[in-house]
Amino acid sequence: MRAICPGSFDPVTHGHLDIIERAAHLFDEVLVAVGRNSAKNYLFTPDERVAMLAEATSHLDNVEVDLLGGLLVDYCRERDIDVIVKGLRFASDFEFELQMAQMNHALSGIETIMLPTAAQWAHLSSTMIREVAKLGGDISGFVTPGVAARIAAKVADADAG
């Protein structure tokens, strides 16, 4: 079966990578798709987010990374994707994810499965990591070294500009 892990990944965290690795064990192929949530302002461009994910998942043979334009369900239909995989940290994630899963099911019949985030990463969010990094905090425990370097470069650019 083919699965998709869609998200903003701004940037990818150890929490996302845990879900992607577990999906890669459960399914034959996993597509990680960098999408757009119209409610969010992004720090990294879509291409930068794809590049960070490709680097962070390069050890996983059955995982590919792609850009997601348009509707997730259209993308899934075009690529014969059977199931959407999402990670859940806490109850407020569930409320939003449930609504999206129901909308995607209503649009196309596609199923969503939700994996509980590993307790070790339950406190992580890309938003908080960006905030901590901008204010000079150490985020090296939450992201890969490659991602940490890219965040540091963005923060330095913003400070210079």
Site residues (CB under 6 A) for ligand PNS? 6-8, 35-37, 40, 68, 71-72, 100, 103-104
Nearer to ligand PNS, 40 or 156 (CB): 40
Whether 40 sits among the annotated catalytic residues: the reply is yes
Whether 14 sits among the annotated catalytic residues: the reply is no
| Burial class of residue 18 (count of CB atoms within 10 Å of its CB; 0-12, 13-18, 19+) | middle
Q: Which residue is nearest to ligand PNS (CB)?
A: 35
11 C-beta neighbours (distance < 10 Å), count:
28
Q: Is 58 helix (H, G, I), strand (E, B) or coil?
A: coil
Shortest Cβ distance from residue 68 to ligand PNS (Å)?
A: 6
CB within 8 Å of 58: residues ≥ 6 apart: none
Q: Where are the alpha helices (DSSP H) in the chain?
A: 14-26, 46-56, 72-78, 91-108, 126-134, 145-160
Catalytic residue among 89, 105, 134, 154: 89
Nearer to ligand PNS, 103 or 118 (CB): 103
Shortest Cβ distance from residue 16 to ligand PNS (Å)?
A: 8
Whether 126 sits among the annotated catalytic residues: the reply is yes
Nearer to ligand PNS, 36 or 79 (CB): 36
Whether 16 sits among the annotated catalytic residues: the reply is yes
Shortest Cβ distance from residue 8 to ligand PNS (Å)?
A: 3
Catalytic residue among 16, 22, 86, 130: 16
Judge whether 6 and 35 are in contact, CB under 8 Å. Answer: yes
Judge whether 119 and 129 are in contact, CB under 8 Å. Answer: no
Cβ burial 29-39 (10 Å sphere, 16+ → b, else e):
bbbbbbbeeee
Catalytic residue among 40, 58, 79, 123: 40
Shortest Cβ distance from residue 40 to ligand PNS (Å)?
A: 6
Residues that are catalytic: 16, 40, 89, 126
